[in-house]
């Protein structure tokens, strides 16, 4: 099919106009935040999934970093009776970590970190490190996460059934304050 030069020019102009309008979209304006230090503990008691202490530390670290905690956190899990590589249905987790919070009025400029409200979703297999059997862990972490992260429009839903694993038994979504990549720490 042969197109007229007029049709080609109109199509090119429309493409340029659409492309220009898409490229003019501005990113969200960074807002001033500051790192806040937290100490937290939670206990995991699962009927469905057992974790090794090493595995629990790794999973909790991944969830915390996904939500914007600084990478220099400390995560310690206890309760594995035969060592850190033996599975347990009861694990106690102690954390030391930093998250972002809106900066207080008059905060020192040197302490400010540019951040944005960032949408997130945490479900079975999203992000890649989550599993269908993590429902009881997500339920156990709720008080610690909601108390120590700056969250808004939060929908935190868990419906864990003992000894059953489904892909729709937990869903956490909302927005979290996350540092711009060059300030993520």
Q: Are 95 and 73 in contact (CB under 8 A)?
A: yes
- Token pair 């090493």 is at which residue? 54
In order of 21, 22, 128, the CA distances from 14 in angstroms are 11, 12, 38
Within a domain: 2: no
Within a domain: 25: no
Within a domain: 126: yes
Within a domain: 134: yes
Q: Are 58 and 71 in contact (CB under 8 A)?
A: no
Count of alpha carbons within 13 angstroms of residue 155, beta-carbon side? 9
Within a domain: 18: no
- The residue segments making up the domain with residue 131 are 31-183
The structural domain count of the chain equals: 1
Within a domain: 26: no
Give CA–CA dist 20/2, Å, rounded. Answer: 27
Within a domain: 80: yes
Question: How far out from the chain centre does Cα 34 lie?
Answer: 18
- Which pLDDT score, from 0 to 100, does residue 185 have? 62
Per DSSP, the residues of 17-36 read HHHHHHHTPPPPPPEEEEEE
The separation between the first and the last C-alpha atoms of the chain, rounded to the nearest angstrom, is: 56
Along the 185 residues of the chain, how does pLDDT read in single tens digits? 444 444 334 444 444 444 433 334 445 678 899 999 999 999 999 999 999 999 999 999 999 999 999 999 999 999 988 888 889 999 999 999 999 999 887 777 778 999 999 999 999 888 999 998 999 999 999 999 999 999 999 999 999 988 788 777 899 999 999 998 766 66
Within a domain: 17: no
DSSP-derived 3-state class of residue 109 = helix
Sequence-ordered list of residues with C-beta below 8 angstroms from that of 88, at least 6 positions apart, any chain = 50, 51, 52, 53, 79, 80, 81
């Amino acid at each position: 099919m042969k197109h007229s030069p007029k049709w080609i020019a109109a199509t090119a102009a429309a493409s340029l106009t659409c492309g220009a309008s898409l490229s003019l979209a501005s990113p969200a304006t960074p807002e001033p935040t500051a790192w806040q230090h937290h100490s937290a503990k939670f206990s995991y008691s699962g009927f469905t999934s057992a974790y090794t202490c090493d595995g629990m530390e790794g999973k909790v670290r991944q969830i915390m970093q996904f939500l914007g905690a600084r990478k220099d956190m400390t995560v310690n899990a206890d309760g594995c009776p035969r060592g850190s590589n033996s599975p347990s249905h009861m694990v106690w987790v102690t954390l030391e970590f930093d998250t972002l919070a809106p900066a207080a009025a008059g905060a020192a400029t040197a302490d400010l970190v540019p951040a944005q409200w960032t949408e997130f979703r945490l479900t079975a297999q999203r992000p890649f490190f989550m599993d269908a059997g993590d429902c009881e862990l997500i339920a156990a972490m709720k008080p610690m996460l909601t108390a120590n992260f700056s969250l808004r429009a939060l929908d935190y839903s868990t419906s864990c059934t003992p000894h059953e694993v489904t892909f729709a038994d937990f869903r956490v979504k909302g927005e979290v304050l996350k540092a711009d990549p060059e300030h993520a720490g």
